[in-house]
Amino acid sequence: MQNINDILKMLDTINADKAVEIYVPSLKRGVKFKSINTGQQKSLIKAAIDNPVFQTRLVYATYEIISENCLEKDLAKTLTYIDGISVLMQLRLHSYGANYLATIQEEVYTMNISTILDNSKTVEFPGLETFTDTVYTINVNIPTIFEHYENEKQMRGKKITNETETVNAVEVVGDAFIAEISKYIKEISVNTGDTQVALNYKNLNYEQRYQVLDKLPVTLVKSVMGYIEKVINLQRQLLTFNGTNAQGEVKPAIVSMDSSLFNLNDS
């Protein structure tokens, strides 16, 4: 009989051979991915007890699934947050099927997510943008799935437990607000009068980044939030599908990106 390492290696090879092609919006081409396996399904089920604001376990599971399943290994870390949503939804489609039960205005609809490929092909990324005033220059762009994961890991990793967190609601919302802004900032430069000094923002840990953000003028933060809203609209575009209720009425709706998408009973 083979030992367990040989068995697992054989199964990994089989899974790679059965890989499916997934369209990546930022690359405008297909990339081979292994399908979601049972161990990854277990991670997604655990995400059901996430803090509803941060969804730390879902962030972890998404990054780990995409990193492990992507057959172009050097590519995985460079995929954007929007790519991550598209890839995960397409893997969901291949692994679980097109149907998903969603409650819309207290009525159950069967959502058809088979249009995720068409949705992904129409995405137009906003790209790098720069916001300035007399002192500060801020460069912003869509975060990668790795940046999203690292930020979450630094901020929440030591606090995650096996229970849904019960913390001060105001504190949670404030942390989420700062965390979201921070993920999009690539660099901050300061005009000292004689020269422009880059702060090497991405080399700071998350606490140091937040200390810097606390010093920024609210007008610049508002500009960053405007950019984030563009990306949120892309997410809505990706996750809008048609649903059919018990009376046969068809209605478009935005599907929530959470662990319920991976409930085997809904597929």
Q: What pLDDT digit, counting tens, does each position of 256-267 carry? A: 888 788 876 655
Integer Cα distance of 158 and 48 in angstroms? 19
Q: What is the pTM of this model?
A: 0.83
pLDDT of 173 reads: 64
Per-residue pLDDT of 224-244, as tens digits, reads 999 999 999 999 999 999 999
Per-residue pLDDT of 45-100, as tens digits, reads 877 666 555 578 888 889 999 999 999 989 999 999 999 999 999 999 998 899 98
**Residue 10 in this model has a pLDDT that exceeds 50:** no
pLDDT-based confidence at residue 32 (cuts at 50, 70, 90): very high
pLDDT-based confidence at residue 169 (cuts at 50, 70, 90): low
Give residue limits of the domains in the chain: 1-267
**Residue 105 in this model has a pLDDT that exceeds 80:** no
DSSP state of 244: E
Within the chain, what is the greatest distance between any pair of CA atoms?
73
Q: Which residues contact 130 (CB under 8 A, 6 or more apart)?
A: 137, 138, 139, 140
pLDDT-based confidence at residue 140 (cuts at 50, 70, 90): very high
**Residue 24 in this model has a pLDDT that exceeds 90:** yes
**Residue 135 in this model has a pLDDT that exceeds 50:** yes
The mean-pLDDT minimum among 17-21, 76-80, 169-173, 184-188 falls in 169-173
DSSP string for residues in 175-238: HHHHHHHHHHEEEEEEE-SS-EEE--GGGS-HHHHHHHHTTS-HHHHHHHHHHHHHHHHHHHHH
**Residue 14 in this model has a pLDDT that exceeds 50:** no
Q: What are phi and psi of 157, to 5 degrees?
A: -55, -40
